[in-house]
């Protein structure tokens, strides 16, 4: 599958590693200018930036666990890139907090931080992107959610709830913004072969995780990146509001 994003300006959050890095790489290979967002690992972001073909590309740090940082990041990205055509809300966090064994303080903190990173910051970024998209004559938002939004996350309920909220946000924005020429999509991966997943895959439950997937393997970051770039491509306008499952048939919605 070949993509063409020549001249497009793209902000990818959480782009220093894993899925986000693969998304940035795929956009850059297709001719886009990419802004690589990271939280605090500047060295990883610098390596991701150096690996991008074309350009000029940019990197910016922002802690999306802080209210208001999403809007600040969006404004800085527009300034760096000279505008914006595509926003990919990929940054996310997963923190275990099993209901039966988590105290009240840890429970509340897990919910507040997870919702801020996984839902409230994407909402800030998406709202702040509307005016730059108007200036550009339209735009696209692709949100990276999770199969956990549908199947539940018993050890991290805030994660499942935040991703379900991000799906609903995507569909609400798709309805509201289509008349503006702004199209909104979601990609919902299952398990993906990343360093974040490695501790779970290498632990005692690793084989059980693999056994969930009829495909027989985890998705690669590049597969998720191609799904994101497909939705961001011209010709998918009538798919606005869709949620694209990429989970190897490990969870099928009806």
**Which residue of the set 94, 159, 185, 251 is catalytic?**
159
The rounded distance, in Å, linking the Cα atoms of 146 and 167 is 9
Give the span between the Cα atoms of 21 and 18, in whole angstroms: 5
3-state secondary structure of 158: helix
Query: Cα 247 to the chain's mean position, in Å?
Result: 15
Is 159 annotated in the active site?
Answer: yes
For β-strands 139-144 and 182-189, DSSP reports them as: parallel
Closest CA to 249 of 165, 102, 151: 151
Question: Can you say whether residue 239 is alpha, beta or left, with left for phi > 0 and alpha for psi between -120 and 50 degrees?
Answer: alpha
Active site residues: 159
């Amino acid at each position: 599958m070949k993509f063409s994003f020549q001249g497009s300006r793209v902000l990818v959050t959480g782009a220093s590693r894993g899925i986000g890095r693969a998304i940035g790489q795929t956009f850059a290979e297709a001719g886009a200018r990419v802004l690589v967002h990271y939280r605090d690992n500047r060295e990883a972001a610098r390596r991701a930036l150096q690996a991008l073909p074309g350009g000029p590309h940019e990197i910016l740090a922002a802690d999306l666990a802080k209210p208001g940082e999403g809007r600040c990041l969006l404004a800085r990205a527009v300034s760096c890139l000279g505008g914006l055509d595509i926003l990919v809300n990929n940054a996310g966090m997963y923190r275990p907090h099993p209901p039966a064994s988590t105290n009240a303080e840890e429970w509340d903190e897990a919910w507040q931080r997870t919702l801020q990173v996984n839902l409230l910051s994407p909402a800030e970024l998406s709202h702040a992107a509307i005016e730059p998209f108007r200036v550009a004559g339209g735009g696209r938002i692709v949100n990276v959610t999770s199969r956990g939004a549908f199947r539940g996350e018993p050890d991290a309920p805030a994660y499942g709830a935040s991703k379900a909220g991000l799906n609903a946000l995507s569909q609400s924005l798709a309805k509201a913004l289509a008349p503006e020429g702004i199209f909104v999509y979601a990609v919902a991966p299952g398990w993906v072969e990343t360093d974040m997943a490695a501790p779970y895959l290498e632990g005692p439950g690793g084989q059980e995780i693999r056994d969930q997937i009829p495909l027989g393997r985890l998705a690669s970051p590049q597969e998720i990146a191609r799904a994101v770039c497909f939705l961001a491509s011209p010709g998918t306008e009538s798919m606005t509001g869709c949620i694209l499952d990429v989970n190897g048939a490990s969870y099928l919605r009806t």
